[in-house]
Structures are given as structure tokens and as C-alpha cells.
């Protein structure tokens, strides 16, 4: 017989260890007096009567007077069917209460709260980015290095074939892809500014900002409207500037230098 598992089950219903042992003792033999209960249950005699009193208050044990020994107090348990039925009703009632209460509390929650967390490690971040690309539904805009683009190429291609609108900006070299891609103006100063950088906005609902050049590569993932809008504008403006540099390169380099240092070093 699985006595200890039964005791553990009763404890899940709110019984203490002593209460569970006493209840099982009474199920086996009742009505019983305190001494008999102590022997059969293994509960220390000084604790038996204190525990019985508490069980009487909860109406899982009942006192029975009389019997062969006159007025000696003996005890009987609440039938187990009644105990389980009562526990089931209490549990289901609590579930119904929590369903209503939690629904009300959730309705009062701050709807401006959004997902925000950090992912550490290059491999872990790149897997998270690939997974996010795979789950994208409408549009992707990102700036990154060709190394990361190579890693994400298959996932991006699948998204493109699903009809997801994709725009990318690569920091180091021109790449041939079936979606719109822009190449960043190349200069040592610019390369240093964007080292290890990857910025991604998916479906205008989620942003991932990754920095891999640190000793501890990490990314911030957010669904907050502010981070989404700021990251989206950052990538867009970077594309705008690089299109201007490409279209008016001679004028730009004459004015700011071949590496645009006169512009970049301004602040």
C-alpha cells in the first residue's frame, strides 16, 4: 500500500503530516481513542489531541462519546468520499474565483507594459534573430554586417518567398539579394562606429539591437513602441544618408573628406 504517497496527496489537500497520519489511522479503525490513534499513526501522544482538536474544527474528524469504556472520548473520520467531494468543490470554486479575479486584474494592468529582455552570447543571439525572422509576417528592416547576413540568408530568403517585405543595409560590402539592399559608405571611421552592430525591426512590432564586438556579446529584445520607432528611424536615416552619399559622392567627399570625417567627427 502506498501510504506515503497517500499522505502526500492529503497534504496537497491542506493536511499536515500529523493530520494525514491520524486521518488514515481512523479510516483503518474507528472510532478510536487518542492512545490507539497515537500507536497506529505514529504521531507522538502529546501531539495527537492538539491535532485532533484542529481537525475537529475543520470537520474532518468527529468526536464520539460512549462505547465500552463509558464516557471515554473516541474519534471517527469524515468519510473519504465526503472529504474528496468537499475538496473538489472547494478547488473548483477557487478556480472559478481565480478565473474571474485574474481576468479583472489583467484588464486593469498597464497596457503600456511590453516585453523587454537581454540575450547574452553571440550564438544565442543569432539563433534568436533567425527564429524571429522565421516568424515574421509582414516586413523586416535591418542593418548588419555581411557575416551575419550570410548566417541569416536562408531564413531571410524563406521570408522573402512568403511575401515578407525586406530591406537591409550592409555595413561592409554590397551583396546580391532579391530584396532591397543598400551598402553603407565604407571608411575606417565608419567601420569602427558600426563594429559588431546589428539592428532589426520585425513587423513593426519587435526590435532586436545586437552588439557583438564587446567582450560579452549581447542583444536587447523589446516590443516597446519607443524602441521600435527609434530603431526603425535609425535604420531608415542611415539608409537615407548612404543613398545621398552614393548619389552625390563627389560633392560629399569634397565637402567632408574621403571618409566623411568632417561630418562624422563633428560629434
* CATH fold of the domain at 3-80: Arc Repressor Mutant, subunit A (1.10.10)
- DSSP letter at 134 equals H
Reply yes or no on whether the pLDDT at 102 is more than 80: no
- Provide CATH 1.10.10.10 ranges for the chain: 3-80
Reply yes or no on whether the pLDDT at 134 is more than 90: yes
CA distance 140 to 153: 13
**Mean of pLDDT over the chain:** 86
Q: What is the pLDDT of residues 148-206, one digit of tens each?
A: 999 999 999 999 999 999 999 999 888 899 999 999 887 777 778 888 999 999 999 99
> Which range, 184-188, 189-193, 230-234, 239-243, has the best average confidence (pLDDT)?
230-234
Reply yes or no on whether the pLDDT at 69 is more than 70: no
Cis omega (within 30 of 0) for bond into 31 = yes
Domain 116-264 has CATH 3.30.870.10: yes
236-259 average pLDDT score:
88
Confidence bin at 240 (pLDDT 50/70/90)? very high
Q: What's the Cα-to-Cα distance from 151 to each of 2, 123, 266, rounded to whole Å?
A: 55, 11, 35
Amino acid at each position: 500500500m502506498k501510504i506515503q504517497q497517500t499522505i502526500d496527496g492529503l497534504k496537497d489537500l491542506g493536511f499536515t503530516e500529523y493530520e494525514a497520519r491520524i486521518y488514515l489511522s481512523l479510516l483503518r479503525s474507528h472510532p478510536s481513542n487518542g492512545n490507539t490513534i497515537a500507536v497506529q499513526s505514529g504521531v507522538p501522544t502529546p501531539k495527537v489531541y492538539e491535532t485532533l482538536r484542529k481537525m475537529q474544527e475543520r470537520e474532518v474528524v468527529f468526536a464520539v462519546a460512549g462505547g465500552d469504556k463509558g464516557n471515554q472520548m473516541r474519534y471517527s473520520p469524515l468519510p473519504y468520499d465526503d472529504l474528496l467531494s468537499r475538496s473538489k468543490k472547494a478547488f473548483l470554486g477557487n478556480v472559478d474565483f481565480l478565473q474571474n479575479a485574474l481576468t479583472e486584474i489583467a484588464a486593469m494592468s498597464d497596457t503600456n507594459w511590453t516585453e523587454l529582455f537581454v540575450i547574452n552570447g553571440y550564438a544565442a543571439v543569432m539563433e534568436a534573430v533567425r527564429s524571429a525572422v522565421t516568424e515574421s509576417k509582414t516586413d523586416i528592416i535591418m542593418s548588419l554586417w555581411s557575416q551575419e547576413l550570410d548566417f541569416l540568408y536562408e531564413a531571410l530568403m524563406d521570408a522573402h518567398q512568403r511575401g515578407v517585405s525586406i530591406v537591409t543595409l550592409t555595413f561592409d560590402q554590397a551583396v546580391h539579394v532579391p530584396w532591397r539592399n543598400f551598402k553603407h559608405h565604407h571608411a575606417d571611421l565608419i567601420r569602427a562606429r558600426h563594429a559588431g552592430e546589428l539592428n532589426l525591426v520585425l513587423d513593426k512590432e519587435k526590435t532586436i539591437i545586437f552588439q557583438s564586438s564587446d567582450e560579452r556579446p549581447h542583444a536587447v529584445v523589446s516590443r516597446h513602441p519607443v524602441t521600435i520607432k527609434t530603431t526603425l528611424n535609425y535604420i531608415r536615416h542611415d539608409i537615407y544618408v548612404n543613398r545621398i552619399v552614393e548619389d552625390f559622392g563627389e560633392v560629399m567627399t569634397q565637402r567632408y573628406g574621403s571618409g566623411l570625417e568632417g561630418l562624422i567627427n563633428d560629434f
